[in-house]
Structure 1
Amino acid sequence: MFSLSQRFQTVSNTAVTVGLFLAAFIIGTSWFQLVSNHAFDLSSSISNVTPKINVRTSRYYGSVNGKAKENAKVSFDLEADLTKLFNWNTKQVFTYLTAEYENVKHTRQNEVTFWDKIITSKDDAVLNLTDAQSKYHVWDVQEKLTGKDLKLKLHWNIQPWVGPLVYGETDGTFTLSIPEREKTEKKAKESESAESSSPN
């Protein structure tokens, strides 16, 4: 006769084995669905990106010891269909718009996030944004962010009911060149002077 503890251990081992098998089955089938639906080949359209540069002296905006720090936000248009990321194992999808740019020494790529969104339903997975405003102020480790070329792209992250997170990005980028702030201010002043001196 088996003791009570032996029976409990046998039942527990069986339950764990079955649970692991079910988890592996769910992860495998949901991954197969993503691949067969070409979820890793989704496209997006990013356009009409307009930067807005402010100078901040607060440490909440990256400033150190009150030293001026350039902060950037953007407005943008975005179109993307993320419905193929949803299957029976998708709890929600986290999507976010990033910008990549080279550091001062051109030795690595820096990445910042301007905007993000949590999508909990397949019905809300079609994005069609016009003149959307970025959610976050971003800044560089250096004092200035102007004068850099930013490559914007849309990423996604599937948070499943069972299994690890699944990461990916859409095809489609937008390169934004942020002009030097001094040049922008000079052009604005020249434009104002030309308008004031022109005859009515």
Structure 2
Amino acid sequence: MYSTLNRAQAVFGFFTTVAIFVAGFAALSVVLFPTDGVTSKVQLKDVKVIKGRPHYYSAKKEEYAQMRFDLDADLSPLFNWNTKQLFVYVYASYSSSDKESSLLPNTQSIIWDTIIEAPESPYSFSNLRERLFPTKSSSSSSPRKTKAKKKKSSTSSSSSSSSKKTNSKTPAAAAAAPGVLKLRDQKSKYQVSDITGRLAERANVTLSVGWNVQPWVGALWWAPGSGTVPHTAGVVGESKAFGFPALKGSKPKEAAAGSTSNPV
């Protein structure tokens, strides 16, 4: 009854119960961190529709939409001690049919995304191990190596700052405040396509911002308005409605209809 195996099982069961309660507390503690300060704004800069093949061996061509946009977002309230990383994306929402009287739900296509990792805590295992048990390589590093390391870090920081000035398309994931994004004239990562193969002159298209909060322990949190539970608070940015332009070299539908109805 009091053998070594029984005692080991009792200790293991006790620690398992404690771990479950601690994990549950960690998962529920995120409600103590308000996310009302989350803001996002997206604005379309340019859009064009081109024709291309879905595969190199395909003879049929389809229409693809390519976009550029501006994004301003402050997602820093989404980061807390239980946040592992943040998945941010911009998606286009448009009608699933080229008919104006269609009752089909809108199609949503992601055109850009990025992953922002949470900054490492000073109380993490690696930082505590380095602080309490410093390695010989870090403690006895030569001044030459330290100087070279400082020079390399200063060079990388200056190059990153200059690249931000000249080209602001790079995500600001490495900024001082995590989750602050400021993109200008950002090119979409993915092209928009449709099952019908036609996108030109499709109206009522909007761009929206979404995110997923991936915690260390607990459920995945979504952006408000996604229709998924649980979701965070905050303002989801949405652009003004626009339409996909006609293909280059082709006449718009209205002009073509007018020329057909009024022949010269």
Q: 1:55 aligns with which of 51, 54, 64?
A: 51
TM-score, reference length from structure 2: 0.62
Which 5+ residue runs of structure 2 have no aligned equivalent? 120-176, 225-234, 253-264
Specify which structure has the bigger relative contact order, considering alpha-carbon pairs within 8 angstroms and separated by 6 or more residues.
2
Task: Look up the SS of the partner of 1:181 in the other structure.
Answer: coil
* Matching residue of 1:190: none
Correspondence 1:171 to 2:236: yes
- CA shift, 1:185, in A, is 4.0
Q: What count of residue pairs does the alignment treat as equivalent?
A: 179
Q: Distance in 1 between matches of 2:83 and 2:89?
A: 17
Q: Distance in 1 between matches of 2:206 and 2:243?
A: 9
* Matching residue of 2:189: 135
* Matching residue of 1:111: 108
* Matching residue of 1:197: none
- CA shift, 1:6, in A, is 1.9
Task: Look up the SS of the partner of 1:173 in the other structure.
Answer: coil
Q: Distance in 1 between matches of 2:44 and 2:95?
A: 22
Correspondence 1:21 to 2:24: no
- CA shift, 1:134, in A, is 0.5
Identity of aligned residues (%): 34
Correspondence 1:156 to 2:236: no
* Matching residue of 1:145: 199
TM-score, reference length from structure 1: 0.80
Higher alpha-carbon Rg: 2
Matches within 5 A, 1:2-17: 2-17=2-17
Contact 2:86 2:116 in 1 (8 A): yes
Task: Look up the SS of the partner of 1:22 in the other structure.
Answer: helix
Task: Look up the SS of the partner of 2:182 in the other structure.
Answer: strand
Task: Look up the SS of the partner of 2:237 in the other structure.
Answer: strand
Structure 1 residue ranges, 4+ long, deviating more than 3 angstroms after superposition = 184-187
Report the AA paired with residue 47 of structure 1: Q
Output one character per residue of 1:143-168: Cα deviation in whole Å (capped at 9) or x when no partner. Answer: 11122222211001111111221111
Report the AA paired with residue 10 of structure 2: T
Q: 1:83 aligns with which of 76, 83, 87?
A: 76
Which 5+ residue runs of structure 1 have no aligned equivalent? 188-200
- CA shift, 1:120, in A, is 1.6
Change (3 A) 1:52 1:180: closer
Q: Distance in 1 between matches of 2:67 and 2:206?
A: 13
Contact 1:58 1:66 in 2 (8 A): no
